[in-house]
């Protein structure tokens, strides 16, 4: 069975152990919601799994085959960073041709969300438009696993719904690990929840556990 496995991940900053022997896995068909307070190491963990930053200890494997470099897993894992990452000087049409799987290029260029911007450059889009485009481009690549760091950041509520339905639609044969402080939307689409607490991961059941472990205030229960 296909699976992205990350194990024994250790990372410290300035004598503070951020991640302590972390284990996190994801299978195609799963959406893993990753929670944690500010500074708990969520983004760092995703970057380590992706391979863009180094860790003191790390084991990342896809289908039990260890992957070490960005080049090795370029067709398997894609990462959406917190901030916009598409190059400003390139047109959207060029980016789609460069990034997406061949079979998806024409389909994506005809997508109503993309078509109006096709000949524009990235710098001509708003932050929210860039975010939707980034997610669309990532999802339509060949990759099987997606690490999405704050996908709902700066996105209008209507577009959040579009992003959620896109992720759900593609999660049938792809695996997603999502982290975002917009916890209600993450809870809504995730099939499994993981909390990073004190450098360790905990499988949690839902909002009550998030309150119990101090990620959410107790008043969240009333609002739910």
Among 63, 83, 106, 198, which residue interacts with another protein (rule: CB under 8 A)?
A: 83
Least distance (Å) between residue 7 CB and another protein: 22
Stretch that binds another protein, among 67-75, 154-162, 198-206, 210-218 (CB under 8 A): 67-75
126 binds another protein (CB under 8 A): no
Provide Rg for the chain, Cα atoms: 18
Among 26, 41, 44, 79, which residue interacts with another protein (rule: CB under 8 A)?
A: 79
Among 27, 57, 59, 81, which residue interacts with another protein (rule: CB under 8 A)?
A: 81
Which of 15-32 are b and which e, b meaning 16 or more Cβ less than 10 Å from the residue's Cβ?
eeebbbebebbbbbebbb
Among 16, 98, 115, 161, which residue interacts with another protein (rule: CB under 8 A)?
A: 98
Site string for another protein, 19-58 (x = CB under 8 A): -------------------------------xxx------
Q: Which of 54, 37, 61, 59 is nearest to 179 (CA)?
A: 37
Integer CA distances (angstroms), 195 to 35, 42, 137, 201, in order: 5, 9, 28, 6
Cα–Cα distance measured from residue 62 to residue 143, given in angstroms and rounded to the nearest whole number: 12
**Closer of 126 and 203 to another protein (Cβ):** 126
69 binds another protein (CB under 8 A): yes
Give me 183's structure tokens. 């916890």
Q: Tell me which residues touch another protein (CB under 8 A).
A: 50-52, 69-71, 74-75, 78-79, 81, 83-90, 94, 97-99, 138, 141
């Amino acid at each position: 069975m296909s699976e992205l496995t990350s194990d024994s991940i250790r990372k410290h900053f300035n004598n503070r152990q951020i991640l302590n022997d972390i284990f996190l896995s994801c299978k195609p068909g799963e959406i893993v919601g990753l929670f944690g307070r500010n500074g708990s190491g969520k983004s760092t963990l995703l970057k380590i799994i992706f391979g863009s930053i180094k860790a003191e200890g790390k084991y990342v494997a896809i289908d039990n085959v260890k992957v070490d470099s960005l080049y090795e897993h370029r067709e398997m894992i894609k990462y959406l960073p917190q901030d916009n990452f598409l190059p400003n000087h390139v047109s959207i049409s060029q980016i789609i041709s460069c990034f997406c799987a061949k079979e998806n290029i024409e389909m994506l260029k005809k997508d109503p969300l993309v078509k109006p911007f096709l000949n524009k450059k990235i710098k001509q889009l708003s932050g929210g438009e860039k975010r939707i485009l980034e997610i669309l481009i990532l999802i339509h690549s060949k990759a099987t696993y997606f690490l999405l760091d704050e996908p709902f950041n700066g996105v209008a509520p209507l577009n959040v719904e579009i992003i959620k339905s896109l992720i759900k639609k593609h999660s049938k044969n792809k695996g997603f690990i999502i982290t975002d402080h917009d916890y209600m939307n993450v809870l809504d689409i995730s099939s499994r929840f993981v909390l990073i607490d004190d450098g360790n991961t905990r499988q949690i059941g839902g909002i009550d556990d998030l309150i119990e472990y101090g990620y959410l205030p107790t008043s969240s229960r009333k609002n739910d």
